[in-house]
Chain A
Amino acid sequence: MRTRKGFAILGLATVLAGMSACTATGSSGGDDGGKVTLSVWSWRPEDAATYKQIFAEFHAAHPNITVDFKPYKSTEYNTILSTGLTQAGGPDVMQLRSYGLAQPLIQAGNLVALDGKVTGLANFDPTALDGARGKQDHKVYGVPLEMSTFQIYYNKDIFSKYGVTPPTTWDQMIADAKTLQGKGITPFAAAGKDTWLLPLYDDAFAATRYGGPAFEGKVLGGKAKFTDPDYVAALDVMNQLKPYFPKDQMGLAETDVQTLFATGKAAMIPEGSFALAPMKAINPNLNLGVFNAPPAPGALVSNPLEVGWVDASYGLSAKSKHQKEALELLQWMTTADFGHLVADDLKQVSLIKGVQSADPLLGQMVQDYTAAPTPYLMLVDFRYGTPLGSDLEAAGLQKMLLGQQSASQVAGDIQNGISQWFTP
């Protein structure tokens, strides 16, 4: 009872702060004149130095607000955040996971809805805002920070050495893979120990087979199931590619395959836009290109698709004592200025309309995604209940590649698990 009253008071305070913030956004050095330090939490310790510069720019424009950036280890962040938001000493503004993974915080009332309080949300596509949208109240709880795309990188030097070109047809891709294998080079550096990559591999290679966004629409509308022949066939595409994956795939983690690729032992790697920086760190001389897999045999979509999803947003804690200043910071995070800092300094794909990346490779990824997008289906739509769709597909694909399950069994498990909480 007492906590409920507390939430009501907080909610009221939030609304009041929000109203004043609407008039105050953009202006700095208010009459209150009080200096405020905002605590900002993130799961990117590797970006700490960059964020220091970014928030220094914010401080220059808003001299009364100082930002204290506190990164935590990515794998422990969810736990730390969920306790931090309910206790004293928590963050004012914090990085949020996307889609279903943001829901527990939203449903527990830990976050402040930003609709009408951050006018800059208009600078984003509605699909970009879905990443931090409450599944039940459809309100937006976060300012989208960046998105990830997933595609196939190739080593240009190895390709030209063996006279291989980026494939335009599936048959050519398989022929390329055979040529490379004949030269003792692993065609695709695919990991199997970090199972979360497996559903992404399937989307990257076979979204064309099940129909990409069209299938998404059908399955959300209850007109298709994962046990449908097209989805089963798309899962089976991984079996066809298995000969061109490393033979010890199930023993290899993501860092292992990144190293295989960056050191020239593998010619191609299905990876995310987020892997560009780490792979360049292993080998700065890496000469890279990207392409999307040509339509798989029997594909329902006749052009290559690029997988993409919102990765992170910044949200506002309901417990923050500095709602007005926090909203000012969030408003700033919707500006093109901030978007360019994300693209050029953080080297991520910003979602703010009209912001282009200076890195040609990242630029191409954005372009390809805008031209022919397909969702990371299991993350975008099937993480709103447990078991998560991504977990079901990851565990199933691993068993399939180990020869313990067939594609239709995997599909059956996915359908069975998801139908426990998902109603079209």
Chain B
Amino acid sequence: MKWRKAGWFLLPAFLLYTVFVVYPLVSALADSFWRWQGTARGGFAGMANFTGLFTTFPLNHQLWPAFWHTAVFFVGTMVVQNTFGLLVAVLLTELRWARRFLQTVYTLPYLVGGLVVGYLWSLLLSPSFGPVNATLEAVGLGSFARPWLGDPALALPVVILVNAWQYVGFPVLLFGAALAGLPPEYAEAARVDGANAAQRFFRVTLPLLLPSIGVVSILTFIGSFNTFELVYALEGAQGNQPTGPGGATDVLGLIFYRVAFQEGGVDAIGQSSALAVLLFLFIFGIAVLANRVVRRREATLT
């Protein structure tokens, strides 16, 4: 009797989850095994859609650079966004005034869509009319003016920086909450023992933060490997051409978008579904693995 009642309560969530999460995932998996002519399904394709990703020129020449760029994007975001976010979070907990206000300020760009942020920054960074280069020239640093989004060496770092600008509020909030949850006794004890600020941070606070650093890292990983809209807004996506100057900012999410919507291939559904399945398996696999590692670390802490 009790169980039946519980079932009724679970039913709405179960239905929603099935319809909006399980069904699309399973149907993408199914679509990836069939041949497609536009939106009409043809015969069974076996693994052809999957092997096609790695054998069709120029896709096979785009996949690995894009994977590499995505990995660099992840590492760059970890280094720039999350370390800076941690620094800000630590400083904010020390702050006596304006803490709430600054937290809001750091989180604000997070509330604006990636397309909007990308568009704004592409205007700011425009080589001919953008205020960034105009400012550099006005203060006599004209030699530093660059086509920021059009230079193969600079494009990816610039994208990482803009992304960090947008999402820095995320680590600030998460680390802030974790820091607020740390018992003050540990730091106090260390202080009494004569540890200076740096020692207190690296020997006491940081190890205690490891679980939340793990969570932030996993979420950053998932976010980075799914990244799309910001790069799209900054660099565009055309046909099946790698995005960015000389393909410098091509990431996996953009390859999926191009294959699915832009390239105009009659077999787009099969090929893009295959890519989506691979991406899902990779991200899911790494996330599960990383989660297990973090859990184990957490267990050793207590």
Tell me the B53-82 residues at the A interface (CB within 8 Å): 56-59
Sample (27) of A-B pairs whose CB atoms are under 8 Å apart: A82-B38, A104-B37, A104-B264, A104-B265, A108-B39, A108-B266, A109-B40, A110-B38, A248-B127, A250-B147, A250-B151, A251-B126, A251-B149, A256-B126, A256-B127, A256-B129, A383-B264, A386-B263, A386-B264, A386-B265, A387-B56, A387-B263, A388-B240, A394-B239, A394-B241, A413-B57, A420-B57
Contacts of A109 in B (CB 8 A): 40
Contacts of A387 in B (CB 8 A): 56-59, 239-240, 263
Query: For the complex, is B242 an interface residue (Cβ under 8 Å from A)?
Result: yes
A391 contacts B245, CB within 8 Å?
A: no
B38 contacts A105, CB within 8 Å?
A: yes
* Shortest CB distance B263–A (Å): 5
Q: In the complex the two chains form, what is the Cα distance from A394 to B239 in whole Å?
A: 10
Task: Identify the 9 closest CB pairs spanning chains A and B, nearest first.
Answer: A251-B147, A251-B150, A108-B38, A250-B150, A248-B127, A391-B239, A248-B147, A386-B265, A395-B241
Query: For the complex, is B236 an interface residue (Cβ under 8 Å from A)?
Result: yes
Q: In the complex the two chains form, what is the Cα distance from A339 to B127 in whole Å?
A: 41
Q: In the complex the two chains form, what is the Cα distance from A105 to B268 in whole Å?
A: 12
Contacts of A83 in B (CB 8 A): 39
Query: Interface code A63-106, partner B: CB below 8 Å = 1, 0 otherwise?
Result: 00000000000000011001101100000000000001101110
Q: In the complex the two chains form, what is the Cα distance from A94 to B261 in whole Å?
A: 19
Contact residues of A: prevailing secondary structure:
helix
Residue of A nearest to B62 (CB): A395
Residue of B nearest to A108 (CB): B38
Among B57, B151, B264, the most chain A Cβ lie within 10 Å of the Cβ of: B264
Query: For the complex, is A316 an interface residue (Cβ under 8 Å from B)?
Result: no
Q: Taking A100-B264, A103-B266 as contacts, is the C-beta distance between A420 and B239 under 8 angstroms?
A: no
Q: In the complex the two chains form, what is the Cα distance from A192 to B127 in whole Å?
A: 12
Q: In the complex the two chains form, what is the Cα distance from A78 to B39 in whole Å?
A: 13
B38 contacts A104, CB within 8 Å?
A: yes
The interface stretch among A121-129, A193-201, A228-236 is: A193-201
Contacts of B235 in A (CB 8 A): 193
Query: For the complex, is B246 an interface residue (Cβ under 8 Å from A)?
Result: yes
Query: For the complex, is A20 an interface residue (Cβ under 8 Å from B)?
Result: no
B37 contacts A192, CB within 8 Å?
A: no
Residue of A nearest to B133 (CB): A248
Tell me the B29-48 residues at the A interface (CB within 8 Å): 37-40
Query: For the complex, is B196 an interface residue (Cβ under 8 Å from A)?
Result: no
> Which of B129, B150, B261 is in CB contact (< 8 Å) with A259?
B129
Q: In the complex the two chains form, what is the Cα distance from A252 to B236 in whole Å?
A: 12
Q: In the complex the two chains form, what is the Cα distance from A386 to B255 in whole Å?
A: 14
Q: In the complex the two chains form, what is the Cα distance from A82 to B37 in whole Å?
A: 12
* Shortest CB distance A190–B (Å): 12
Q: In the complex the two chains form, what is the Cα distance from A85 to B40 in whole Å?
A: 12
Residue of A nearest to B126 (CB): A256
* Shortest CB distance A398–B (Å): 6
Tell me the B244-289 residues at the A interface (CB within 8 Å): 245-247, 261-268
Q: In the complex the two chains form, what is the Cα distance from A342 to B106 in whole Å?
A: 51
Q: In the complex the two chains form, what is the Cα distance from A122 to B165 in whole Å?
A: 59
Query: Interface code A237-257, partner B: CB below 8 Å = 1, 0 otherwise?
Result: 000000000101111110010
How many chain A residues sit at the interface, stated as a range, is 35 or more
* Shortest CB distance B118–A (Å): 13
Contacts of A192 in B (CB 8 A): 150, 245
Q: In the complex the two chains form, what is the Cα distance from A3 to B39 in whole Å?
A: 12
Residue of B nearest to A107 (CB): B37
Query: For the complex, is B300 an interface residue (Cβ under 8 Å from A)?
Result: no
Q: Taking A104-B268, A248-B147 as contacts, is the C-beta distance between A193 and B152 under 8 angstroms?
A: no
* Shortest CB distance B144–A (Å): 13
A395 contacts B236, CB within 8 Å?
A: no
Q: In the complex the two chains form, what is the Cα distance from A381 to B59 in whole Å?
A: 21
Other than A108-B266, A249-B150, A251-B126, give 4 A-B pairs with Cβ distance below 8 A: A78-B262, A109-B40, A248-B150, A420-B57
Residue of A nearest to B150 (CB): A251
Query: For the complex, is A417 an interface residue (Cβ under 8 Å from B)?
Result: yes
Contacts of A85 in B (CB 8 A): 39
Query: For the complex, is A392 an interface residue (Cβ under 8 Å from B)?
Result: yes
A386 contacts B39, CB within 8 Å?
A: no
Query: For the complex, is B128 an interface residue (Cβ under 8 Å from A)?
Result: yes
A398 contacts B127, CB within 8 Å?
A: no
Query: For the complex, is B135 an interface residue (Cβ under 8 Å from A)?
Result: no
Query: For the complex, is B148 an interface residue (Cβ under 8 Å from A)?
Result: yes
Query: For the complex, is B238 an interface residue (Cβ under 8 Å from A)?
Result: yes
Q: In the complex the two chains form, what is the Cα distance from A140 to B236 in whole Å?
A: 33
A107 contacts B240, CB within 8 Å?
A: no
Query: For the complex, is A423 an interface residue (Cβ under 8 Å from B)?
Result: no
Contacts of A259 in B (CB 8 A): 128-129
B38 contacts A193, CB within 8 Å?
A: no
Contacts of A195 in B (CB 8 A): 238, 241
Q: In the complex the two chains form, what is the Cα distance from A383 to B125 in whole Å?
A: 33
Contacts of B149 in A (CB 8 A): 193, 251
* Shortest CB distance A381–B (Å): 15
* Shortest CB distance A377–B (Å): 15
B127 contacts A251, CB within 8 Å?
A: yes
Contacts of B241 in A (CB 8 A): 195, 391, 394-395, 398
Q: In the complex the two chains form, what is the Cα distance from A69 to B38 in whole Å?
A: 25
Query: Interface code B127-148, partner A: CB below 8 Å = 1, 0 otherwise?
Result: 1110000000000000000111
